[in-house]
């Protein structure tokens, strides 16, 4: 992984399969760092949400327009100097390439967990549009970040606070004094 600690971080993409904790970790990380938090799922077109609710995996053609919307969101936050943490599956390298598009101020955090841990989580969550039946398609599509993607990997089999501490440590990010926990 390239050392990007000398650059300002304007966006952190928290990625992983459904059920890995992207939304929870993105929210907690944004709170800790004083960044804005966004969930990329909220930017899916209605047709994508309907497909997933019906148990139909999205195709690349379904994802491309959505990914460009999320990339625009990152650019908008950077242009207005408002750092953002975005929860986004970003399962494949080409998806991450669209989101990062060569920017040195965008970092990727890959939430890695076993299929068993994630299946247990998805089986117990309520009100999410992504049914547990699509978990296999998520793992089938997953391309773990390569070393040249300026990504870090964190194990999700820990508490939220431990995961956030690990992310902040690996990214070498300063934490605002008022957000540090005692």
pLDDT tens-digit map of 20-72: 999 999 999 999 999 999 999 999 999 998 998 888 888 999 999 999 999 99
What residue segments make up the domains of the chain, in order of their start?
A: 11-172
- In angstroms, the CA 90 to CA 171 distance is 19
At residue 149, the pLDDT reads: 94
pLDDT at 129: 47
CA angle 144–148–149, rounded 5-degree value:
55
Angstrom CA distances, 142 to 15, 37, 113, 168, stand at: 10, 23, 12, 24
**How deeply is 87 buried, as exposed, middle or buried, from its count of CB atoms within 10 A (0-12, 13-18, 19+)?**
buried
| Nearest partner of 130 among 50, 40, 21, 22, judged by Cα | 50
Cα–Cα distance, 18 to 93 (Å, whole number): 17
Q: Are 159 and 25 in contact (CB under 8 A)?
A: no
The tokens for 156 are 């999700």
- Supply the CATH classification number for the domain 11-172: 3.40.50.300
The four Cα atoms 24, 27, 32, 37 give a dihedral, to 10 degrees, of 160
Provide the mean pLDDT of the chain: 87
Residue that wins the pLDDT comparison between 141 and 166:
166
Between strands 151-155 and 36-39, the pairing is unpaired
**When comparing pLDDT for 52 and 114, which is higher?**
114
Taking the C-alpha atoms of residue 175 and residue 32, their distance in angstroms, rounded to an integer, is 7
């Amino acid at each position: 992984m390239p050392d990007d600690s000398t650059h300002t971080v304007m966006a952190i993409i928290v990625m992983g399969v459904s059920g890995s904790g992207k939304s929870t970790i993105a929210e907690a990380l944004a709170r800790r760092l004083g960044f804005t938090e966004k969930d990329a799922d909220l930017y899916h077109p209605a047709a994508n949400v309907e497909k997933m609710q019906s148990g139909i995996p999205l195709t690349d053609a379904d994802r491309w327009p959505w990914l460009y919307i999320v990339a625009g969101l990152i650019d908008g936050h950077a242009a207005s100097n408002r750092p953002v943490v975005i929860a986004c599956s970003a399962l494949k390298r080409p998806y991450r390439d669209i989101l990062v598009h060569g920017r040195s101020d965008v970092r990727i955090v890959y939430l890695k967990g076993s299929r068993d841990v994630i299946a247990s989580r998805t089986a117990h969550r309520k009100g999410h549009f992504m049914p547990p039946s699509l978990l296999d398609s998520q793992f089938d599509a997953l391309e773990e970040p390569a070393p040249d993607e300026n990504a870090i990997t964190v194990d999700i089999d820990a508490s939220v606070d431990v995961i956030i501490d690990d992310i902040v440590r690996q990214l070498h990010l300063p934490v605002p004094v008022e957000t540090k926990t005692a």
